[in-house]
Chain A
Amino acid sequence: MLAALAAAALLLAAVLLLAVRVRTDMAEFLPRGETEAARLVLREARAGAATGLILVGIEGAPPADLARISRAMAEALPATGLFSLVIGGEAALPEAEGAALFARRYLLSPASTAEAFTEPALRADLEALLRQLGSSMAPLAVQFGLADPPGAFLAMLRGWAGSSSVRVVEGAWFAAGQDRALLLARSRAGGMDIPAQEAATAAIQAAFLAASPGPARLLVAGPAVFARDAARAIRGDVERIALLSTGLVALLLWWRFRSALVLAAIAVPVVLSIAAAALVVQLGYGALHGVALGFGITMLGVSLDYPVLMIGHRKAGEPAMATRARIGPAFVLAVITATLGLAAMVFSGFPGLSQLGVFSAAGLAAAALATWWLLPRLVVAAELAPVSAGNPAWLAPVEGLRRWRLLGLLPVLAAALYLAARGGPDWEGDLQSLSPVPAASRALDAELRAQLGAPEVTQLLVIQGADAEAVLRRQEELWPVLERLRAAGALAGAELAARLLPSIATQEARRAALPAPGELARRLAAAGAGLPFRPDAFAPFLQAVAASRDLPPLRPENLAGTPLGARLEPLLFQREGRWHGPVALRGVHDAAAIRAALDGREGVVYVDMRQELGGILARYTAQAWHWLGWTGLLVLAVLAAGLRDAGRVVRVLGSVVAALLVAVAVLTLAGARLSLLHLVALQLVAGIGLDYGLFFSRPLLDAEERARTLRTLVTCNAMTLLTFGLLAACQTPLLRDIGWTVAIGAVLAMGFGFLFAGERPAPRGAGQRR
């Protein structure tokens, strides 16, 4: 019956975990942002067109091979239909689109001004053209110059080239000063649609392999790849830990209890607790974040304590229900205080943390309930034999250590002094520390972005308007301001929609400024007086200007499906009825100057994402102290009400506080910067410490029971160390942080719980009398 029940619990858990949607993007984990602009940016960072960006590098082979692979990929990828944009070289502008844009040069180009068509300007253009025809530039001058003496098209191309520092090797983009081919792709699906991103990155991989890469290596980065990598890393970590720690904990429990049935009985509450926790989070949040799941799985180490405490404390010949009644008070208090501590996170207002809180509190409560109601019946039904306490003779010398327990205050004092002297622990101000994305992936992303000239989305202006035209006009008004800031060195550059596509008003103004065909021919003839140009040399120019006078302006929707349209997509879009035109700033050196220059401009907001997110983090960290304080008070009240013994309350809480203090000091000494997740982990340590303290401090126990308690708690501690020790070896940085914190904290909680919470042995080894 027990085996059947354990199997049923496992099955249930498996079904529930499969039904749960696991998410891994950090945006999901973060609060919504302080300002409207920040909220927009966070929302775009979650689902905007920029999230589908995939940066591709190919290296490790001779340049000619890299170029060949890159060209083959650039050709194969658009055919998959998964990408809205693939650029890797000169073929970026298809001939048809290039010709269409060339035809509109006098509407689109910033060089198309009324002055450009005056006689003196044309004269200067023709003289320059003649010089070029007599130089090595002649082929280009013939191709573009005769049809466009004012150079409108070249000025337009320069505006589009942006900040890219790529060079071209055999038709493929290469990083400056490095043998690495570069490609830029954007998937059609949003970056956080993980299955679609898996398909997109798999397509890139397949296109790479199909190009017979030889020794070449493929590098991919970008938000979409991050999401995928984080999902993989977390899944890999969680699976490995779940397997390894289950195996190790099972071995430990086998060694301790020597019974497969006991193992099965212990597994029932634990498996149920994880399933229940996942289900509660799924119901409450619609999805389970991978971080919450990873953290939640490690709850194994804590919720396992409950059944182990119950089974480990059973005396020979004692009915299971009697054990429950005996350890009941300490057990119930331990569960209530630990659950309270974790539940406090629910109200932190930080989406990720409240998920963690709900997951762990629900998990703990479920494990405790299953232990309380189900386990005694299982023990009876399966006729589990009580565990022998063994000969308690070894207990006296161990407990004798408590005689020197005042010495145990020394490390606590040292920790307090150390922390006070350095003004407290270091706090992590960078939200990236919470990211599940491995640091190596982030570094690769930054490197490829710099090489491709793709802006980092950390500094930006958000420009809003009622329609696309309003946004573009605002950007055009802003451009001279940005140019002045750039000239003053406040920033290195900016990418904005209006530089790719001028507003309709601007295009119409340029069109209106174009001279009539007869007039232009007259001015051109006058400008060319005395120069050797044939009369018909500039026919294409005259035709183009005449045709431009009847061209309708180009609108954003006309560019849909073209490479230029794909570039425009993340720079100009409609969300919730309003149009937005984020301007990504590159190389910001003087944020204050930018703020000052933009002050008072309507519809323009400067957002520094790093600062914005850092501010959010700081505020929540400060809040975390508040809720830690309140939780502490609440726990104190529960302990006081439950124990009704001031001495015990002080001993139990004292041991927990000592463990926390020394743990923080050890972490700080090891160079850790404490983040919100450390705080969460410390909450868990506090819960574990309360368990230990409450059980050690039970009064009036005979030596056999004390030995049973010590052995059981040591078993619990070893389990915690096994699970969290494994967590410390994770790839995902935040799981690693939690692992270290809990492992260190649990050892300290065990030590201080034993020293401070337990009673000092009576003189002359009174414990051995019975």
Chain B
Amino acid sequence: MARMAAVPERHESFREERRLAALNFPLVMTGTLRYRRPAHLEKLTETPQPESLVVEGDRVELTLGNEPTQILDLARAPELRVLVDAVRAPLSGDLAALRRSFAVRATGTPDAWVLELQPLEPRAARFLRAVRLAGSGTNVRETLLLQANGDVHHMLTRPLP
């Protein structure tokens, strides 16, 4: 974790697959991720529909296609917050912050590690069952979000030059 904290900025491409209980087939999204310490996260989706999600602290700016930007407060949307925390806290290397919200289990070697998170708060647990992050060194390769209702978000990331 401490080595993660040493990376001030990350820029990655992603491919996300969503298997939702409500839909017949998975939704696939691609785009780029940008992270800057300590709390700035940008997710720019390119396909199938352009979207920009910028998180700075608790403030979320969400722009869907050409629609006007919506500003959300993470504290007002606990469901979103737990998702953001699950992705952002490991990148920041802040194990203490992670442990406040999740039960954390780390396995593997520095070159092939797995971090499993389970939300501690009952309200969050009713929504999010578990998060599984896998990577090597300071890079996260794979993020898997398992929701309580059976929805699965699976994201693969590759560093960009």
Segment among A27-35, A358-366, A433-441, A532-540 that sits at the interface with chain B:
A532-540
Contact A533 B22 (CB under 8 A): yes
B74 CB to closest chain A CB (Å) equals 9
Contact: A142 with B45, CB < 8 Å? no
Residue of B with least CB distance to A134: B27
- Asked whether, in the complex, the Cβ of B18 is within 8 Å of the Cβ of A533, the reply is no
List CB contacts (< 8 Å) of B59-83 with chain A: 62, 64, 73, 75-80, 83
Which B residues touch A537, using CB under 8 A? Answer: 21-23
- Say whether B62 contacts A90, CB under 8 Å: no
Instruction: Tell me if B51 is interfacial: C-beta within 8 Å of chain A.
Output: yes
- In the complex, B20 has a CB within 8 A of chain A: yes
Smallest distance from the beta carbon of A440 to chain B beta carbons, Å?
Answer: 32
* Cβ 8 A contact of B23, one of A136, A168, A169, A532: A532
* A residues in contact with B76, CB < 8 Å: 90, 168
Q: Which residues of A contact B110 (CB under 8 A)?
A: none
With most chain B CB atoms within 10 A of its CB, the pick from A133, A134, A537 is: A134
Residues of chain A within 8 A (CB-CB) of B18 are 133-134, 138
Residues 296 to 314 of chain A near chain B (Cβ within 8 Å): none
* A146: Cβ under 8 A from any B Cβ: yes
**A170 to B81 Cα, complex, angstroms:** 11
A146 CB, min distance to chain B CBs, angstroms = 6
A133 touches B75 (CB 8 A): no
List the A side residues contacting B29 at CB < 8 Å. Answer: 134
Q: Is A139 a contact partner of B27 (Cβ separation < 8 A)?
A: no
Asked if B79 and A168 sit within 8 Å, CB to CB, the answer is no
A131 touches B64 (CB 8 A): yes
* Chain B residues whose C-beta falls within 8 Å of the C-beta of A134 in the assembled complex: 18, 27, 29, 48-49
CA distance A11 to B147 in the complex (A): 77
For the complex formed, measure the closest distance between the CB of B104 and the CB atoms of chain A, giving whole angstroms. Answer: 21
User: Would you call A137 an interface residue if the criterion is a C-beta within 8 Å of the partner chain's C-beta atoms?
Assistant: yes
B27 / chain A contacts, CB cutoff of 8 Å: 133-134
Complex contacts, A146 vs chain B, CB 8 Å? 22
Residue ID in chain A nearest B75 by CB atoms: A168
Q: Is the CB of B22 within 8 A of A135?
A: no
B53 lies within 8 A of chain A by Cβ:
yes
Q: Closest approach, in angstroms, between the C-beta of B77 and any C-beta of chain A? A: 7
Separation of A143 and B22 alpha carbons in the complex (Å):
11
In the complex, the answer to whether A135 meets B49 with C-beta atoms within 8 Å is yes
Q: A131-B64, A134-B18, A134-B49 are in contact. Are A140 and B73 (CB under 8 A)?
A: no
Given contacts A534-B21, A534-B22, A534-B23, A143 and B79 within 8 Å (CB-CB): yes
Name the B residues within 8 Å of A532 (CB-CB).
23-25
A182, chain B: closest CB distance, angstroms: 14
- Minimum C-beta distance from B64 to chain A (A): 6
Contact A135 B51 (CB under 8 A): yes
| Inter-chain contact A140/B80, CB cutoff 8 Å | yes
B80 in complex: contacting residue of A139, A167, A171, A533, CB < 8 Å: A139
Given contacts A133-B23, A138-B20, A142-B20, contact A169 B49 (CB under 8 A): no
Which residues in A have their C-beta under 8 angstroms from that of B77? 140
Contacts of A90 in B (CB 8 A): 75-76, 78
Contacting pair A169 B24 (CB below 8 A):
no
What interface size band does chain A fall in?
A: 20 to 34
| Interface flag for B113 (CB, 8 Å) | no
A480 to B80, CA, bound (A): 35
Name the residue of chain B whose CB is nearest to the CB of A172. Answer: B75
Give Cα A760 to B94, complex, Å. 94
Interface of B, secondary structure class, is mixed
Q: Within the complex, what minimum Cβ distance (angstroms) separates A396 from chain B? A: 85
How distant is A596 from chain B, measured CB to nearest CB, in Å? 34
B25 to chain A: closest CB distance in Å?
Answer: 6
- Contact check, A131 vs B49: say whether CB atoms are below 8 A apart: yes
- Kindly name the residue among B23, B79, B80 whose own CB sees the greatest number of chain A CB atoms within 10 A: B23
Report whether A135 and B75 are in contact in the complex, using a CB–CB cutoff of 8 Å.
no
Interface 1/0 per residue, B126-161 and A, CB below 8 Å: 010000000000000000000101010100000000
Inter-chain contact A135/B58, CB cutoff 8 Å: no
Residues in chain A near residue B20, CB distance under 8 A: 133, 138, 142
Q: Which residues of A contact B127 (CB under 8 A)?
A: 139, 143
Within 8 A of B (CB), among A124-176: 131, 133-140, 142-143, 146, 167-171
User: Residue of A at shortest CB range from B80?
Assistant: A139
Residue on B nearest A67 in the bound complex, by CB = B75
Q: Please, which residues of chain B bring their CB within 8 A of the CB of A142?
A: 20, 22, 147, 149, 151
- In whole Å, how far is B26's beta carbon from the nearest beta carbon of chain A? 9
Q: When each residue 17-43 of chain B gets 1 if its CB lies under 8 Å from chain A and 0 otherwise, what string results?
A: 010111111010100000000000001
Q: How far is the CA of A136 from the CA of B18 in the complex (A)?
A: 11
A139 and B83 in contact (CB under 8 A), knowing A134-B48, A533-B23, A534-B22? Answer: yes
Q: Closest CB of chain A to B143's CB: distance in Å?
A: 14
Residues of A within 8 A of B80 (CB): 136, 139-140
Residue of B nearest to A136 (CB): B53
Instruction: Kindly state the separation between the CA atoms of A137 and B151 in the bound complex, as whole angstroms.
Output: 14
CB-defined contacts of A533 to chain B, threshold 8 Å = 22-24
Which 9 A-B pairs give the minimum distances between C-beta atoms?
A: A537-B22, A168-B75, A139-B79, A532-B24, A136-B53, A134-B27, A532-B23, A168-B76, A135-B51
For this complex, 24 residue pairs linking A to B, each with C-beta atoms less than 8 Å apart, are A90-B78, A133-B23, A134-B48, A134-B49, A135-B62, A135-B64, A136-B62, A136-B80, A138-B20, A138-B151, A139-B79, A139-B80, A140-B77, A142-B22, A143-B79, A167-B73, A168-B73, A168-B76, A169-B58, A171-B75, A532-B24, A533-B24, A534-B21, A537-B22
Q: Beyond A138-B151, A142-B22: 10 further Cβ-contacts under 8 Å?
A: A134-B27, A135-B51, A135-B62, A135-B64, A136-B51, A136-B80, A139-B80, A140-B77, A169-B75, A537-B23
Chain B residues packing against A (C-beta within 8 Å)? 18, 20-25, 27, 29, 43, 45, 48-49, 51, 53, 58, 62, 64, 73, 75-80, 83, 127, 147, 149, 151, 153
